[in-house]
Copies of this chain bind each other. A is one copy, B any other.
Amino acid sequence: MTALPMTVRAPGLPERVRIHEVGPRDGLQNEASVVPTEVKAEFVHRLAGAGLDTVEATSFVHPRWVPQLADAEKLYPMLSGLPGVRLPVLVPNDRGLDRALALGAREVAVFASATESFARANLNRTVDASLAMFEPVAIRAVESGLRVRGYVSMCFGDPWEGAVPVGQVVEVCRRLVAMGCDELSLGDTIGVATPGHVGALLGALTEAGVPVSSIAVHFHDTYGQALSNTLAALQHGITTVDASAGGLGGCPYAKSATGNLATEDLVWMLDGLGIQTGVDLGRLIDTSVWMADQLGRPSPSRTVRALSHKE
């Protein structure tokens, strides 16, 4: 556990990156078996203890849709002893926002789609109708003093529609900003993006007046591209990167994998580049090994596997 990357800075990259840890929400929501609330709470506490200052904690969706996160009301208060850690929660609609507000949440996120096909599949409505559903949620959240993050799925490719035009993504992003989102998370939901496409989308957003400081990237490793896409995003000024501890989130060996970028693989690169994150890689790996034990299967993160292997 002593091997760590050598630090050699590269020109044009940020001094610091904020990692938006999505494991407890985006990772665990795809688990086949229900994880006990106490385990989830310990997971979030351990992640915070490893230095992650933003941990997406849970989702206030209807339990029918995501039974894995049906314990949000029980879990959220168990995280109150984490001062200084941002704990955003997903809210799909007005009812979800009510639940989040009742528990004192300070940050929420809505989950939009860049494509009609995925809006229909995931939200059962058109892109327009889904944005219309989110608008009063975002406005009321802002009025209540909350930060609002807008996820945008399928920003690069869509399994039904193929390549997603950059302009279509920009339009959804503009509308989310207009309704009060202070951060956008650009999702490569099926993992097909490559670095030139990343640069083109970020360039178009900047041109459309969306400040780069309000943009986060959310890459999936389905085709092994998440980290090189992240490097391209950093070179375009991005300073917020979504990742999932241990690569949690769906099965990495199936085509349908969500295959989130593993936080450890990201931290290895950022440590090597001398970019500050505040994360202690060793403690993070210990956390992912512990969580893998809870779930009964090894982490797909290469860094976790390399540094936790007992020889």
Shortest Cβ distance from A298 into B: residue: B253
Contact with B along A259-272 (1 / 0, CB 8 A): 10010010011011
Contacts of A7 in B (CB 8 A): 196
* A-side interface size class: 35 or more
Q: Contacts A227-B227, A262-B224, A273-B194 given: A302-B252 contact, CB under 8 Å?
A: yes
Q: Contacts A227-B228, A302-B223 given: A272-B196 contact, CB under 8 Å?
A: yes
Contacts of A197 in B (CB 8 A): 5-6, 8, 272
In the complex, A159→B9 CA distance in Å?
22
Taking the complex as formed, is A200 at the interface, i.e. its CB lies under 8 A from any CB of chain B? yes
In the complex, A197→B159 CA distance in Å?
37
In the complex, A271→B196 CA distance in Å?
11
In the complex, A252→B303 CA distance in Å?
11
Contacts of A5 in B (CB 8 A): 157, 192-194, 197, 223
Residues from 202 to 257 in A contacting B, C-beta threshold 8 Å: 221-225, 227-228, 230-232, 252-257
Q: Which of B9, B196, B252 contacts A196 (CB 8 A)?
A: B9
Shortest distance between the CB of A244 and any CB in chain B (Å): 13
Q: Interface of A with B (CB < 8 Å)?
A: 3, 5-11, 13, 156-157, 159, 162-163, 191-197, 199-200, 221-225, 227-228, 230-232, 252-257, 259, 262, 265, 268-269, 271-274, 298, 301-303, 305-307, 309, 311
Contacts of A222 in B (CB 8 A): 302, 306
In the complex, A222→B309 CA distance in Å?
12
Q: Contacts A8-B200, A232-B10, A268-B225 given: A191-B306 contact, CB under 8 Å?
A: yes
Q: Which of B252, B274, B311 contacts A255 (CB 8 A)?
A: B311
Question: Can you name 17 extra interface pairs (CB under 8 A) apart from A194-B268, A225-B269?
Answer: A3-B159, A5-B192, A6-B194, A8-B196, A9-B196, A191-B306, A194-B272, A224-B265, A225-B227, A225-B272, A227-B228, A228-B231, A252-B302, A255-B306, A255-B309, A255-B311, A259-B302
Q: Are A224 and B309 in contact (CB under 8 A)?
A: no
Top 7 closest pairs, chain A to chain B, by CB: A194-B272, A10-B196, A224-B265, A224-B302, A8-B196, A6-B163, A8-B197
Shortest Cβ distance from A227 into B: residue: B228
In the complex, A311→B10 CA distance in Å?
42
Contacts of A254 in B (CB 8 A): 305, 309, 311
- 5 residue pairs A–B, Cβ–Cβ below 8 Å: A5-B193, A6-B194, A8-B199, A194-B268, A196-B272
Contacts of A311 in B (CB 8 A): 254-256
